[in-house]
Amino acid sequence: MVACATCSVRHRSLCGALSPDQLFRLNGIARHRHFVAGDVILREGETPDYFANVVSGAVKLSRTTVEGQHQILGLQFASDFLGRPFRSVFGYDAHAITAVHLCTFPRQPFEGLLREYPSFERRLFEQTLDELDAARDWAAVLTRTAARERLCLFLLSILQRFEASGCGHTITPTGAILELPVSRAEIASYLGLTIETISRQFTQLKVDGIISLPSPRELVVLDLHALKAAAGA
Amino acid sequence: MVACATCSVRHRSLCGALSPDQLFRLNGIARHRHFVAGDVILREGETPDYFANVVSGAVKLSRTTVEGQHQILGLQFASDFLGRPFRSVFGYDAHAITAVHLCTFPRQPFEGLLREYPSFERRLFEQTLDELDAARDWAAVLTRTAARERLCLFLLSILQRFEASGCGHTITPTGAILELPVSRAEIASYLGLTIETISRQFTQLKVDGIISLPSPRELVVLDLHALKAAAGA
DNA sequence: CGACAAGTTGATGAGCGTCAACACTCGTGG
DNA sequence: CCACGAGTGTTGACGCTCATCAACTTGTCG
């Protein structure tokens, strides 16, 4: 058992709002789980027996359409919460796309804690409201923006997540170096574009001197300012 | 004061999950408000002094981008909940797009009730989780689908809302007649398309014998089955 | 070395945005 | 009563963006 005191997401996740007392109780029910890339964490329609904070790694939330297409609905990184309290079924598939470390909480005692500590439940509620806003914003972005802007927004959001969690990247004077946790196909699915379009936009950004790609998964942001400008805001 | 017992959204809204006791308390703080088309109900960044259930009419949630464009993020109809508990600012503009009847609850006492009745707060939480799922689904739809499918999905969602609230439409043997609560521009903004594209898709649906449009705001669904098929599901 | 997955690049076409002209309704005022 | 204008919706012509199909390159693992 890893103690919360040394937890890397201690202050940004759900746990950040807890009193020492509450944290102690939560720690008492926490169990750590590890997954490797490709593992199924939760399946759509299934009743998960636990909730979880993502401690490290990247998780994709996807849905398989009737035509058998994987549509990525969201990406979760360190400090994000996984699961739907008071709902029996989970609405999406959750896959590990990198090595993933979860801090899990069994359903029954976790919901018990929520009932016992209203401020805890409220915190989770507020987090859900924020996610709702983010989801609506994202929908708006997907309808308004061109492929280039979308990709730039995506890269910036990844970078922002990494900065918030203080890992997975290196800051440079004019930008940053980071490892992309997702494949081209996953980026494409998430952004509602095709792999070819993603690839073309990447090379265009290289030509424009905004990024460089030592390897497909290694992204060097040469000019963060230009990247933000290209994201359209 | 209109009593909850006769309220048309009594059983479908938030109120549907309340005990008689809770409902009595909520009724005690409720105040009804009426708006005409075009009225501003809430403004982005503002701290609203009340929450509300939509009793009748249509409300649009929009955001004004830096370029001054109105982007419609959501539409709310009868039984939908307006406002964000435990959040000081409201994230969007809310406008009445038809005559709107709201059942409002002042902030302080409403949040007090939430604290007093955990089951009440939980109900609101669950509703928010559903909205989150819906928002993510919507984002997925906006990225995947063509203009025609999008419009059909939109029309079906309107019809579904009207059926749920039992008003604003007439059922026919093979379809329905309904009054569109929104302009072409509003449909376009919501669907991430242009008015011209909306107009063209409407005429195409007419040509295909799926709908007819006696006037721009009067929609006759001639073949509901075909409409659903055209929606891609 | 060969096989396979992942990514890149190219050619082509469809779909939708853009610009522009036109039709329809409604309210106002002579 | 008709004339006028503003607002809303429709239709047409054209170009750009991105999807599609296909070939090629690169990296990885047996």
- pLDDT band at residue B185 under the 50/70/90 scheme: very high
The residue behind tokens 């170096």 is A177
Out of B66, B129, B191, the one facing A84 most closely (by C-beta) is B129
- What global pTM score does this model have? 0.92
Given a cut of 80, whether residue B53 has pLDDT beyond it is: yes
The reply to whether A132 touches chain B by the CB within 8 Å rule is yes
> Which bases of strand C sit closer than 7 A to a protein CB?
6-11, 15-20, 25
List the one residue out of B83, B85, B84, B59 whose CA is nearest residue B72.
B59
Position B2, amino acid: V
The pLDDT value given to residue B196: 98
Average pLDDT over residues A213-218: 95
* Nearest nt by C1' to B149 Cα: C15
Q: Is the CB of A218 under 7 A from strand C?
A: no
- Interatomic CA distance for residues B143 and A158, integer angstroms: 20
Average pLDDT, chain A: 91
DSSP A152-217: HHHHHHHHHHHHHHT-SEEE-SSSEEEE--S-HHHHHHHHTS-HHHHHHHHHHHHHTTSEEEEETT
Find all residues with CB under 8 Å of A231, minimum gap 6, and list them.
A149, A152, A153, A156
- Interatomic CA distance for residues B57 and B38, integer angstroms: 12
What residues of B are in contact with residue A125 (Cβ under 8 Å)? 85-86, 121, 124-125, 128
Given a cut of 60, whether residue B1 has pLDDT beyond it is: no
- pLDDT band at residue B2 under the 50/70/90 scheme: low
Given a cut of 60, whether residue B128 has pLDDT beyond it is: yes
Position A170, amino acid: T
Model pLDDT for residues A80-125, shown as the tens digit of each residue: 999 988 877 888 999 999 999 999 999 999 999 998 998 888 889 9
- pLDDT band at residue A70 under the 50/70/90 scheme: confident
Do the chains contact at A139 and B135, CB–CB below 8 Å?
Answer: yes
- From the CA of A191 to the C1' of C7: give the distance in Å: 18
Given a cut of 70, whether residue B175 has pLDDT beyond it is: yes
Given a cut of 70, whether residue A50 has pLDDT beyond it is: yes
Out of A84, A92, A140, the one facing B71 most closely (by C-beta) is A140
The pLDDT value given to residue A233: 67
Q: Is the CB of A183 under 7 A from strand C?
A: yes
The pLDDT value given to residue A178: 94
Do the chains contact at B132 and A132, CB–CB below 8 Å?
Answer: yes
Q: How far is CA B32 from CA B27, B60, B78, B94, B177, in A?
A: 11, 19, 14, 17, 29
The pLDDT value given to residue B27: 93
Given a cut of 60, whether residue A1 has pLDDT beyond it is: no
Q: How far is CA A147 from the centre of its chain?
A: 21
Given a cut of 80, whether residue A44 has pLDDT beyond it is: yes
Q: Which one has a higher pLDDT value, A228 or A168?
A: A228
Do the chains contact at A125 and B121, CB–CB below 8 Å?
Answer: yes
The reply to whether B67 touches chain A by the CB within 8 Å rule is no
Do the chains contact at A131 and B132, CB–CB below 8 Å?
Answer: yes
Element housing B226 (H / E): helix B224-230
- pLDDT band at residue A2 under the 50/70/90 scheme: low
- Interatomic CA distance for residues B104 and B83, integer angstroms: 10
The stretches of chain A forming alpha helices (DSSP H) are 20-29, 107-116, 118-144, 147-165, 184-191, 195-207, 224-230
Instruction: Evaluate whether B132 touches B62 at the Cβ level (below 8 Å).
Output: no
Question: Where is mean pLDDT largest: A43-57, A192-206, B9-23, B64-78?
Answer: A192-206
Q: Is the CB of A185 under 7 A from strand C?
A: yes
The pLDDT value given to residue B89: 83
Given a cut of 60, whether residue A193 has pLDDT beyond it is: yes
The reply to whether B143 touches chain A by the CB within 8 Å rule is yes
What residues of B are in contact with residue A120 (Cβ under 8 Å)? none
The reply to whether B140 touches chain A by the CB within 8 Å rule is yes
The reply to whether B174 touches chain A by the CB within 8 Å rule is no
The reply to whether B138 touches chain A by the CB within 8 Å rule is yes
Average pLDDT, chain B: 91
Q: Is the CB of A217 under 7 A from strand C?
A: yes
- Interatomic CA distance for residues A33 and B69, integer angstroms: 46
- Interatomic CA distance for residues B122 and B118, integer angstroms: 6
Average pLDDT over residues B63-91: 85
Q: Is the CB of B194 under 7 A from strand C?
A: yes
**Percent of chain B scoring above 90 in pLDDT:** 67
